Structure 1
Amino acid sequence: MFADRVLSGMRPTGNLHLGHYHGVLKNWVELQQKYECLFFVADWHALTTHYDSPEIIEKNAIDMVIDWLAAGVDPSKAVLFIQSKVPAHAELFLLLSMMTPLGWLERVPTYKDQQEKLTEKDLSTYGFLGYPLLQSADILIYRANRVPVGEDQAPHIEFTREICRRFNHLYGKQSGFEEKAEAAIKKLGSKKSKLYRELRNRYQEQGIESALEEGKSLLNTQQNLSMGDKERLFGYLEGGGKMILCEPETLLTKASRMPGLDGQKMSKSYNNTISLREDPESIRKKIRTMPTDPARVRRSDPGNPAVCPVWQFHLIYSNDETCKWVQHGCTSAEIGCLDCKGPVIEKVLAELEPMRERARIYEEDPVLVRNIIADGCEKANQLAEDTMRDIRSAIGLNYS
């Protein structure tokens, strides 16, 4: 019924680092080859925790998009836009808030977790409580059916699915819906009509999930049905009404293994990052001065790679032969720590060099970046408005 469409966003934190690249951007570059992708700057989300320092958001947003482009995100294959430039996000957020139970928001796992972690901020605000619903609006406004997230964000997608089902249940009931659905079934032909009814009964009466999937597959192959009839039959199959909004699926991404220079998770707050556009000499210095096995005090002391932050970089960047060389050389004290760091330095520099080259084009001509964003915002606005027309009509706010 709905196209395979991926949506993902990032808060504008400014220049990105290797943790962002290995955790998110590499995945985006792969996804844009397979799906219709929309990637957005979540500037309104930034205000939920940085409402008292908004002046940094615009510059951070532009810097971040440059890093996306440098990492290989292609504006000819993906739509890049800024959340606040698509007002429909806010309109849908408002409309969804009218039908969202307060308890649903309070039980989102990250709500209390973030309050406990960010104790220096007053997060007892309506915006912070409601930000999972704004995330839902971000997804549902584009009828995105695939959302790449890590396991920690999976509850947010499940929350969005619940919101979607509730909305479709409340507002998908057209006058004469069943009669229209029955008329649409007849258009399938006698054999497929019978199969559709059997699958619908098996799902609704026995809860057999495979029957639901078979029914959806059957409808997806029908070329003679209008979009409206397909929507009715999808909803009738599930026992509800017309499917106005699309229930998204979670695309679980691999957890990023990118460590920081000190062995902790790479994060600006730990001051242990390597930026995507960082100067090569700065990178060399940072890696050369990385801490190693604390028990290896002298060059002649054998080391233990398992407790060395540099080894974590080898696991990401080095081939089997190099890793064996490190393991043997470190544990036998045949190589020193600077020797061990050499291949890592070269691999990191080789990975980042093409990114710096791509970024230079946009650094020298910032208008290029703003044009890409403007074009993306225009496309996103059009898609969002298509959805909002259906939503306003379903709720009874089109006043036509």
Structure 2
Amino acid sequence: MNSNAIPPNQIILTGDRPTGPLHLGHYVGSLKNRITFQDQHTQFLMLADAQAFTDNMGDRDKVRRNVLEVALDYLAVGIDPAKSTIFIQSQLPELTELTFYYLNLVTVARLERNPTVKEEIRLRDFQRDIPAGFLAYPVSQTADITAFKATLVPVGADQAPMIEQSNEIVRKFNTNVGQDILVEAAPVIPALGRLPGIDGKAKMSKSLGNALALSASADEVSKAVKMMYTDPNHLRVDDPGQVEGNVVFTYLDAFEPDIAFVDDLKAKYRRGGLGDMVIKRHLEQRLQALLAPIRERRAEFAKDPVEVMRMLAQGTDKARAVAAQTLSEVKAALGLNYF
């Protein structure tokens, strides 16, 4: 489902693994939509610290400290804790208990066939040394989604199989207990897709060293744009240039609202007569205008980390109350309401 076609008054669950500050790829892929969603829907934003442990158990402090960093990014871009419930995953034991029950509704073979899981295992070169928690991530994600009876889950196109498997578990549970306790969810996939890194070789990722953080300084923005991959065959200004695969134009498509202006730049670049530095200068101006106020708001919120954590505590309490109600219904349906 495209974000432009969402019916009103939906329950939306989304979030991020707190393994580092958020970057421009997150902004394009999800943060812009979340700002809109919070005025139209019931939105839960999860800091998935427990899930981050599936491949960060050896660097637990990184996960802990980045809970605050990601929360600061949320606030800086305009996510309002009065409109969106922001919570910390590990502080909801109800999610762990739901995961335990759902594990009985899926086989190891089915988990291994999940295309998203298979690709993530390949990228991390786990081979057969796969942490069990990592392999079972689709089950954990099902607990996250169903705890809030979310009807929509914003994800990248590569994550759609995760929602499909979550819905399989929902259907199996409901069939097993003979009641419609859990709710299926639909994926919401951004129209633009995944933003490439500034090197043009992979998705934007801090671990790959090709990301531009939302908190980047003006000098860091300028340096990143100058390093961006364009067309290696566009050696002289008069040479015809290729737009497809040109990272600068990909970013202009993502961040320049004047579509006609970008189309005109593309036409000139293809004909020849437009230099790389000209298009990079346009892009830098747009990124500096976008990130400067975000950076300033972030710095203000960062002055009072105690207040930010208090906000997270309030959101976590609210989210836990919702998850506890769902868990109560699940246990009753399973006949686990002994007393």
| Shorter-chain TM-score above 0.5 | yes
Residue 42 of structure 2 aligns with an amino acid whose one-letter code is E
Pairwise CA distance, 1:317 = 3.2
Match for residue 323 of structure 2? 384
Match for residue 393 of structure 1? 332
Match for residue 132 of structure 2? 126
* 1:93 partner SS: helix
The structure that has the greater radius of gyration is 1
Q: Per the alignment, do residues 374 and 106 of structure 1 end up closer, same or farther by CA in structure 2, a change over 3 Å counting?
A: same
Report if the CA contact (8 A) 1:19-1:256 is conserved. Answer: no
Residue 230 of structure 2 aligns with an amino acid whose one-letter code is T
Q: Per the alignment, do residues 109 and 373 of structure 1 end up closer, same or farther by CA in structure 2, a change over 3 Å counting?
A: same
Match for residue 188 of structure 2? 251
Q: 2:122 aligns with which of 111, 116, 122?
A: 116
Q: Per the alignment, do residues 370 and 302 of structure 1 end up closer, same or farther by CA in structure 2, a change over 3 Å counting?
A: same
Q: Per the alignment, do residues 123 and 342 of structure 1 end up closer, same or farther by CA in structure 2, a change over 3 Å counting?
A: same
CA distance in 2, matches of 1:320, 1:4: 30
Report if the CA contact (8 A) 2:18-2:47 is conserved. Answer: yes
* 2:22 partner SS: coil
Q: Per the alignment, do residues 349 and 127 of structure 1 end up closer, same or farther by CA in structure 2, a change over 3 Å counting?
A: same
Q: 2:197 aligns with which of 249, 260, 265?
A: 260
Q: Per the alignment, do residues 297 and 131 of structure 1 end up closer, same or farther by CA in structure 2, a change over 3 Å counting?
A: same
CA distance in 2, matches of 1:157, 1:51: 25
* 2:58 partner SS: coil
1:66-145 correspondence runs (5 A): 66-119=72-125, 123-145=129-151
Pairwise CA distance, 1:254 = 2.5
Identity %: 35
Q: 1:155 aligns with which of 161, 167, 191?
A: 161
CA distance in 2, matches of 1:123, 1:71: 38
Q: Per the alignment, do residues 299 and 66 of structure 1 end up closer, same or farther by CA in structure 2, a change over 3 Å counting?
A: same
Structure 1 residue 294 corresponds to structure 2 residue 232 = yes
Pairwise CA distance, 1:40 = 0.2
Residue 185 of structure 2 aligns with an amino acid whose one-letter code is P
Match for residue 63 of structure 1? 69
Match for residue 365 of structure 1? 304
Structure 1 residue 349 corresponds to structure 2 residue 291 = no
Can you give the 5+ residue segments of structure 2 that lack an aligned partner in the other structure? 1-8
Report if the CA contact (8 A) 1:49-1:123 is conserved. Answer: no
Deviations 1:156-211, CA, capped at 9 Å, x for gaps: 2122222112222222xxxxxxxxxxxxxxxxxxxxxxxxxxxxxxxxxxxxxxxx
Deviations 1:199-253, CA, capped at 9 Å, x for gaps: xxxxxxxxxxxxxxxxxxxxxxxxxxxxxxxxxxxxxxxxxx3322222233333
Report if the CA contact (8 A) 1:48-1:128 is conserved. Answer: yes
CA distance in 1, matches of 2:27, 2:232: 29
Can you give the 5+ residue segments of structure 1 that lack an aligned partner in the other structure? 172-240
Pairwise CA distance, 1:333 = 5.4
CA distance in 1, matches of 2:157, 2:237: 42
How much is the aligned-residue C-alpha RMSD, in angstroms?
2.3
Residue 374 of structure 1 aligns with an amino acid whose one-letter code is A
Q: Per the alignment, do residues 128 and 340 of structure 1 end up closer, same or farther by CA in structure 2, a change over 3 Å counting?
A: closer
TM-score normalised by the chain length of structure 1: 0.76
Deviations 1:287-335, CA, capped at 9 Å, x for gaps: 1343433223345555444453322223233424533553465456544
Report if the CA contact (8 A) 2:10-2:41 is conserved. Answer: yes
Q: Per the alignment, do residues 143 and 290 of structure 1 end up closer, same or farther by CA in structure 2, a change over 3 Å counting?
A: closer
Total equivalences in the alignment = 329
